[in-house]
Amino acid sequence: TQLLEQSPQFLSIQEGENLTVYCNSSSVFSSLQWYRQEPGEGPVLLVTVVTGGEVKKLKRLTFQFGDARKDSSLHITAAQPGDTGLYLCAGAKDDKIIFGKGTRLHILP
Amino acid sequence: GAGVSQSPRYKVAKRGQDVALRCDPISGHVSLFWYQQALGQGPEFLTYFQNEAQLDKSGLPSDRFFAERPEGSVSTLKIQRTQQEDSAVYLCASSAYRERYYGYTFGSGTRLTVV
């Protein structure tokens, strides 16, 4: 059973479009992180959200932590080819960090 | 160093061979983690060190896997008698914090292929 479900698994859109990817769980997390991973590299931390309902912005990326601290979303505005990559959410629970399987995003120029 | 360094970047091992994967964390980082990432999957937790103490090894898939961090800095993940199912990318991460609550800095990983 996957503790963190990410959707969609794959997303291919045109440059300039907006998109949202989701990270859902039935478990409560003390914090949730989003990473981006490019081929042949390790994941790179984008953001950590801690408080239920928290919203953080990183340039064109907006991250939201659900009120109940069970889910999160990542919204990208005006996607660019440089946004291409695997987006992973990870939750801190019971002294472990658990990763979802990721959303593979491809932005077409 | 400036980041987490892992070596080798690529390793091909014959089935049954022993391998050792090295991780140099960011200097001064207290916490060190090993993860295994199969193709198309997210990273799966293997083990966690706080300084030289291995506080959690619940993710190690079998007793063929062993990790150490004897002086609280460099860590080695050893896999004995490798099997084909061990083929994966092994990622090391470190953190300045004791709590796993905060994000990690990952290395680029070691891609292990068992043939």
Distance CA(A23)–CA(A101), nearest Å, equals 10
* R_g over Cα of chain B: 13
Cβ separation of B109 and A42 shorter than 8 Å?
Answer: yes
Q: Is A100 a residue whose pLDDT tops 60? A: yes
Inter-residue contact B102 to B30 (CB < 8 Å): no
Q: Which of A26-30, A38-42, B2-6, B86-90 has the highest mean pLDDT?
A: B86-90
One pLDDT digit (tens) per residue for chain B, 115 residues? 579 999 999 999 999 999 999 999 999 999 999 999 999 899 999 999 999 999 999 999 999 999 999 999 999 999 999 999 999 999 999 988 766 667 789 999 999 999 9
Cα of A102 to nearest chain B Cα, Å = 6
Per-chain mean pLDDT for chain A:
93
Instruction: With cut-offs at 50, 70 and 90, classify the pLDDT of residue A1.
Output: low
Residue A83: phi and psi, rounded to 5, are -80, -10
Tell me the pLDDT tens digit for each residue of A44-92. Answer: 999 999 899 999 999 999 999 999 999 999 999 999 999 999 999 999 8
Residue among A18, A14, A38, A17 nearest A109 (CA): A14
Instruction: With cut-offs at 50, 70 and 90, classify the pLDDT of residue A30.
Output: confident
pLDDT of residue A93: 74
Counting residues of chain A whose pLDDT is more than 90, the rounded percentage is 83
Instruction: With cut-offs at 50, 70 and 90, classify the pLDDT of residue A97.
Output: confident
Distance CA(B106)–CA(B91), nearest Å, equals 7
Tokens of B35: 């993860």
pLDDT of residue A5: 95
Q: Is A2 a residue whose pLDDT tops 80? A: no
Cα of B38 to nearest chain A Cα, Å = 10
Which one of A29, A97, A104 would you mutate to disrupt binding with B, by most B Cβ within 10 Å of its Cβ? A97
Is B53 in CB contact (< 8 Å) with chain A? no
